[in-house]
Amino acid sequence: MTFSRGTAEEIAAALAANGLILRSGFTFGDDEMAPAGLSGFPAKSVLLVGQAGAAPWPYFQRWLEGQPRAIANPLDSWAREVIGAVAQGFGARAVSPSDRPYLPFQQWAMRAEALRPSPLGILMHPQYGLWHAYRGALLFEGEISVPEPHAAIHLCDTCVEKPCLKSCPVDAYSVDGFAHQACLAHVRGPRGEPCRSGGCLDRNACPYGAEYRYPADIQAFHMAAFAGV
Ligand code: B12
Ligand code: SF4
Ligand code: SF4
């Protein structure tokens, strides 16, 4: 795949230098409301950037240690800086999952990678399980040709016991969705220490992608960002 200023392999290599992966992408349909590209006109195509397991962590930590002062939302800031630099090098506009109004990253990922949501709302990946995330996307003003995603096996379909729906002390995840406030109250409360120090008990109960599971301290970092604790 070739872009006006390089190939997909070169983009992937630039991202890999920071532990990030070029995931996949697609071309927007003519009748779609696509976000703006670099010149302000609607983008024609998008490539998603993400992580599997904790691969970017050492790069992020090194960057954080070099910062002159404490920064709010440091992981977002790091990802914006790194992905922004790659975008600039390859003639794309970078966007973040935290940009407001929120961009439909999970819908994009379902389309690009043929993934489907787990009962927790997190997209289930056949290799990484629940241990992957999106850190940004590159918007291009030209069309790109990306191979159609293979229909990925959806591990949740064959998971009869669904342990991910049985471990939360306040049953925050259910068929009705995610009870955000009940989760927050528990995580911030006197019995929330296991979630605070080791991450979501429901997410950790899933048996798949175990080798990509984030270490406890990284899960604690994400939980602190989520719950403000
Ligand atoms: C707002 C938000 C939340 C809210 C959800 C409130 C709500 N009911 O909408 C809250 C704060 C609860 C939340 C929590 C978490 N989130 Co969140 N969240 C987002 C965010 C920033 C925007 C979602 C949105 O509105 N998008 C706009 C709509 C139009 O796009 P969409 O693709 O249609 O959105 C889908 C989601 O909204 C999803 N959804 C709805 N409710 C919930 C709740 C949860 C927990 C999840 C994961 C998804 C989800 O349904 C839509 C269906 O397609 C996205 C990033 C993004 N830009 O999408 C991350 C995102 C969905 N979150 C993510 C994650 C991992 C989490 C957490 C599980 C972990 C964490 N961040 O610490 C936690 C759960 C806490 C826990 N117990 O561990 C990941 C999912 C990655 C994946 N592999 O699929 C995303 C994509 C961010 C990322 N950087 O990758 N999240
Ligand atoms: S425990 Fe089972 S249902 Fe839950 S996320 Fe994992 S595979 Fe899917
Ligand atoms: S973080 Fe804790 S309280 Fe929140 S959903 Fe997970 S197990 Fe439940």
pLDDT digits (tens, 9 = 90+) for 10-44: 999 999 999 999 999 999 999 999 999 999 999 99
Instruction: Name residue, tokens 């602190």.
Output: 224
Interval 189-198 mean pLDDT: 97
pLDDT at site 206: 98
| Nearest atom of ligand 1 to the alpha carbon of 130 | 83
Q: Percent of the chain at pLDDT above 70? A: 98
In this model, does residue 210 exceed pLDDT 60? yes
pLDDT at site 146: 75
pLDDT at site 1: 58
* 82 and 20 Cβ atoms separated by less than 8 Å: yes
In this model, does residue 51 exceed pLDDT 70? yes
First to last CA, the chain: 44
pLDDT in tens, 137-190: 999 998 777 777 777 799 999 999 999 999 999 999 998 899 999 999 999 999
Interval 41-58 mean pLDDT: 97
Distance from Cα 182 to the centre of ligand 3, integer Å: 8
Nearest to 37 by CA among 131, 137, 141: 141
Ligand nearest to the CA of 192: 3
In this model, does residue 5 exceed pLDDT 80? no
Ligand nearest to the CA of 164: 2
Kindly report the pTM of this predicted structure.
0.96
1 or 80, higher pLDDT: 80
pLDDT at site 2: 56
Phi, psi of 26 (to 5 degrees): -165, 170
Distance from Cα 6 to the centre of ligand 1, integer Å: 32
Q: Which residues line ligand 2 (CB under 6 A)?
A: 118-119, 124, 130, 155-156, 159, 162-164, 206, 208
pLDDT at site 7: 82
Across the chain, mean pLDDT equals: 94
For 45-67, give the DSSP string.
EEEEEEEETTTTHHHHHHHHHT-
